[in-house]
């Protein structure tokens, strides 16, 4: 009898062959539908051109190269056969690294589901390539017609005949071909949309991002797919990393990097925005991720229902023993743990995750749209963010405090942290466990704070600063640089507290001496 290993290998081989067969069948249908559309469009174009081939321009007839149009069409249609399936089969092989991971799944149902999703993703990518190929075909048709019109225009110029009506013909030709191109591409776009209904998009090819926004790609793997857009220090190998400097590029784990044009001896794939356009490029790409359904759209309107005097969006989970006072507003896809207390007037934004035993006092805003601002067309604009707000177990948030959701990553408050009243915590901030943050503190975006840190009243922390474990930031300090673990700082420039006291003493001594 066959061993379990042999039976499993045979089963996997059968599943792979079935996937290839299914891909072939789906490809043939899509390719034939497009071929019929292209043949029909060419016939309509030829009929449309015939009305201009009579003697309307003195002794000069407008003649089009119909034979060339037929040749272009036949060549394109012949290349359609097997175009999609060939691209899919190129990846549906045992040696492909993603196929290896999929086939290693032990559970039969999960393996089939993952393989189907992989094939559907390849199918969508092939359709996108076919859209580009279709656009090129119609461009060749337009160029062929334009050459014929230009030839007649030269003859009319030589004969010193007016050709005002010829400009009208040129415009009509351009509009007709453009309409047919849009119709053909919409057929393929509709198949992409149908595919996403059953298998939502989870990644985008770098090539498609570059084409969408006319960015440049440097590197050998433009087929590389990315599933998220993240800052370089948080990016993994499946992310598109945002790199502001060379250090970001050299340290990130990502294989694909979004940056301004630069040259570095690094074996990675770069996608370049223009100079001084990185923030705008980030927004363009993240909007594309939202449109593809990979990231949530937190700016869309959503329905809420009323319960016990508060408003709740859909898919809200509330743990046992949690009290929610009246006049609370909760967004979509929110999770609130056990034994929490949410007081009146609190707002909890969509996507927020709250642990157990959390207290949020009246008037606070948790998970609000982030204030990530950028410039576009000479105007300041802001982005709501696609990250979540994650509140750990045992956190207490004082009255009228504001915690923003992450822009591209999550805003995280560690377990057991106490936050006072009127505190502002910006997007993508990471705060460790057991911290104490006193009233009227302001923390800018992308700050990382370690465990058991104390930040006293009215202190402010600049964006991208890191504060080590156990540090103490005294009241009214202005933190503009990294703080070491255990360090105690104070003053406008967050100096070592003992050094700041000496500086103040010298200043006072100098004042007394002058008096």
Q: How many CB atoms lie within 10 A of CB 194?
A: 9
d(C-alpha 76, C-alpha 59), whole Å:
36
461 pairs with which residues across the strands? 443, 479
DSSP characters over 198-230: HS----EEHHHHHHHHT-EEESS-TT-EESEEE
Q: How many CB atoms lie within 10 A of CB 255?
A: 20
Q: Which residue bears the tokens 């015939």? A: 50
- Burial string for 4-24 (b: 16+ CB within 10 Å, else e) reads eeeeeeeebeebbeebbebbe
How wide is the angle at C-alpha 213 spanned by C-alphas 207 and 217, nearest 5°?
40
d(C-alpha 156, C-alpha 446), whole Å:
67
- Which conformational region is residue 421 in: left (phi greater than 0), alpha (psi within -120 to 50 degrees), or beta? beta
Q: Please, which residues have CB within 8 angstroms of residue 251's CB and are 6 or more apart in sequence? A: 232, 233
* Cα 421 to Cα 102, 341, 418, 425, 456, distances in angstroms: 50, 16, 10, 12, 12
Q: Please, which residues have CB within 8 angstroms of residue 88's CB and are 6 or more apart in sequence? A: 20, 23, 27, 119, 122, 123, 126
Do 369 and 351 touch, CB atoms closer than 8 A?
no
* Cα 117 to Cα 57, 124, 229, distances in angstroms: 58, 11, 21
Of 445, 425, 336, the residue nearest 435 (C-alpha)? 425
Catalytic choice (60, 233, 427, 497): 427
**Does residue 427 carry a catalytic annotation?**
yes
The helix or strand, by DSSP H or E, that contains position 498, with its residue range, turns out to be helix 497-514
d(C-alpha 104, C-alpha 99), whole Å:
8
What's the N-to-C CA distance of the chain in angstroms? Answer: 104
The residues annotated as belonging to the active site are 427
């Amino acid at each position: 009898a066959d061993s379990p290993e042999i039976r499993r290998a045979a089963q996997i081989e059968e599943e792979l062959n079935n996937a290839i067969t299914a891909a072939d069948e789906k490809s043939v249908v899509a390719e034939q539908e497009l071929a019929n559309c292209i043949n029909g469009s060419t016939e309509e174009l030829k009929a449309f051109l015939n009305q201009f081939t009579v003697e309307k321009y003195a002794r000069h007839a407008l003649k089009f190269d119909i034979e060339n149009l037929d040749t272009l069409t036949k060549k394109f249609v012949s290349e359609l056969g097997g175009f999609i399936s060939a691209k899919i089969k190129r990846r549906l092989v045992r040696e492909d690294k993603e196929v290896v991971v999929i086939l290693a799944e032990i559970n039969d149902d999960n393996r089939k589901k993952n393989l189907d999703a992989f094939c559907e993703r390849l199918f969508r990518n092939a359709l996108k390539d076919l859209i580009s190929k279709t656009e090129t075909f119609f461009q060749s048709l337009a160029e062929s017609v334009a050459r014929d019109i230009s030839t007649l225009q030269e003859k009319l110029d030589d004969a010193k005949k007016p050709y005002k009506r010829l400009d009208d013909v040129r415009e009509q030709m351009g509009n007709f071909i453009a309409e047919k191109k849009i119709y053909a591409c919409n057929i393929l776009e509709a198949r992409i949309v149908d595919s996403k209904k059953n298998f939502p998009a989870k990644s985008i090819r770098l090539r498609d991002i570059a084409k969408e926004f006319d960015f440049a790609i440097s590197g050998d793997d433009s087929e590389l797919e990315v599933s998220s857009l993240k800052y370089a220090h948080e990016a993994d190998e499946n992310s598109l990393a945002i790199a502001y400097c060379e250090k970001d590029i050299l340290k990130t784990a990502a294989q694909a990097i979004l940056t301004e044009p630069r040259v570095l001896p690094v074996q990675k794939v770069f996608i370049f925005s223009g100079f001084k356009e990185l923030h705008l490029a980030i927004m363009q790409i993240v909007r594309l991720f939202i449109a593809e359904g990979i990231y949530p759209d937190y700016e869309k309107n959503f329905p809420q229902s009323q319960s016990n005097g508060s408003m709740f969006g859909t898919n809200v989970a509330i743990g046992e023993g949690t009290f929610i006072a009246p006049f609370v507003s909760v967004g979509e896809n929110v999770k609130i743990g056990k034994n929490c207390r949410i007081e009146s007037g609190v707002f909890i934004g969509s996507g927020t995750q709250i642990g157990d035993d959390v207290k949020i006092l009246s008037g606070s805003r948790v998970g609000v749209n982030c204030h990530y601002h950028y410039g576009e067309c000479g105007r300041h604009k802001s982005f709501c963010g696609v990250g979540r707000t994650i509140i750990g177990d045992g956190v207490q948030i004082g009255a009228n405090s504001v915690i923003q959701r992450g822009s591209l990553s999550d805003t995280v408050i560690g377990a057991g942290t106490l936050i006072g009243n009127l505190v502002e915590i910006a997007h993508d901030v990471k705060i460790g466990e057991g911290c104490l943050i006193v009233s009227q503190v302001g923390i800018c975006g992308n700050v990382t704070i370690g465990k058991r840190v104390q930040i006293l009243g009215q202190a402010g922390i600049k964006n991208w600063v890191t504060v080590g474990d156990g540090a103490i930031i005294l009241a009214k300090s202005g933190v503009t640089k990294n703080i070491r673990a255990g360090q105690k700082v104070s003053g406008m420039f967050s100096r070592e507290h003992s050094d700041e006291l000496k500086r103040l003493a010298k200043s006072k001594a100098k004042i007394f001496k002058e008096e």
